[in-house]
A and B are shown apart, each in its own frame.
Chain A
Amino acid sequence: MTSGRLVEYEGGGDETRSNPWLAELQQQMFVEINPADANNAGVKHGEQVWVEGPEGGKIKVMAFVTNRVGRGLVFMPFHFAGHYQGKDLRNKYPEGCDPYILGESCNTVFTYGYDSVTAMQETKVSLCRLQKA
């Protein structure tokens, strides 16, 4: 499992997901899955899937079945927040401050490892299990 950026959003995404021109272009948190892995997990493109991390955290996201990722690898963007383990937390935002688009944060399923020099957390490599939601 790895994570990365989308061209439309920046950082945690709260600002860019509040911009209608950008938010319209990416309306769903998703996980890119290779067709072979998707077949093994029994998920089709566009279906909801649980991604479970080694520490027990799990997130419910849309399956994006694509050859962009190789077999045995899944990719998730890190720009989403506002859903937590399948629950929509929109009502917790102060009034008028909720972005147009909310989604699961991929960091919920990443692990405790970090770089000892910079104390930067490990968000690029981890293990996961996929389960049809």
Chain B
Amino acid sequence: MARMKFLCDDDRCIECNACITACKNEHEVPWGVNRRRVVTINDGQSGETSISVACMHCSDAPCAQVCPVDCFYFTDDGVVLHDKDLCIGCGYCFYACPFGAPQFPQDGAFGNRGKMDKCTFCAGGPEEDHSEAEFEKYGRNRLAEGKLPLCAEMCSTKALLAGDGDVISNLFSQRVTQRQLSQEEPDSGTAQVKLWGWKTAYKD
């Protein structure tokens, strides 16, 4: 059985935020809840890098380990999902998650946390596939339609890959070999420069 994974190629990500917008539009995620986000480091400096992050659907998910009501479950495809009917909004998963994936809507007059919301790998939730209740709580179930997550399908530079972990990691290593083999830097002799990227564009 395939294990579904995301992989973001930071040499290709151009911080266009299309993945975020695609996700929000597809699942009608409210303002303030971000299932996916783009993180940029060294902004405006040499070596600027962007990467798109959402739930990484860990094989050994820390969120599932700390959840006091055990609302997480794994699908046959290795997607980490949760049951919003069980979730009590305690926020433990948010502290456990190394990627900051769990999101909480502000709920009520005292700003209490609502039920946790996170990336579902476009695989819906425990409700019946394509049901109204499923869409309401978790968004569209594209996996059940035989489609991959929309963020990755929409990615303009194909930096964000989603799918069977074996397939996308093969694709990624193939890319890495190809882009390293490009040209040699004229003044430093042996050091190889990538086909594109900061060094190629700005030479520093």
A-side interface residues toward B, CB under 8 Å? 7-8, 20-22, 24-25, 66-69
Contacts and interface: CB of A to CB of B under 8 A. Distances in A.
Nearest to A21: B24
Interface in B8-22: 15-17, 20-21
A68 B20 CA distance: 23
A67 B17 contact: no
Contact of B17 (A25, A66, A68): A25
Nearest to A35: B44
Given A20-B31, A21-B25, A67 B45 contact: yes
Contact of B31 (A8, A24, A66, A68): A24
Nearest to A32: B44
Given A7-B16, A20-B31, A24-B31, A67 B44 contact: yes
B124 to A, nearest CB: 20
A24 B33 CA distance: 10
B43 to A, nearest CB: 6
Contact of B21 (A22, A66, A67, A69): A22
Q: Is the interface of B mostly helix, strand, loop or mixed?
A: loop
B17 A8 contact: yes
A22 B17 CA distance: 9
Interface of B: 15-17, 20-21, 24-25, 31-32, 43-45
Q: Is the interface of A mostly helix, strand, loop or mixed?
A: loop
Nearest to A65: B44
Given A21-B25, A22-B21, A24-B31, A66 B44 contact: yes
A83 B21 CA distance: 26
Contacts of B21: 21-22, 25
B20 A25 contact: yes
A25 B15 CA distance: 12
A75 B15 CA distance: 19
A115 to B, nearest CB: 30
Nearest to A24: B31
A25 B17 CA distance: 8
A70 B45 CA distance: 11
Nearest to B34: A24
A69 B44 CA distance: 8
Contacts of B32: 24
Contacts of B24: 20-21, 24
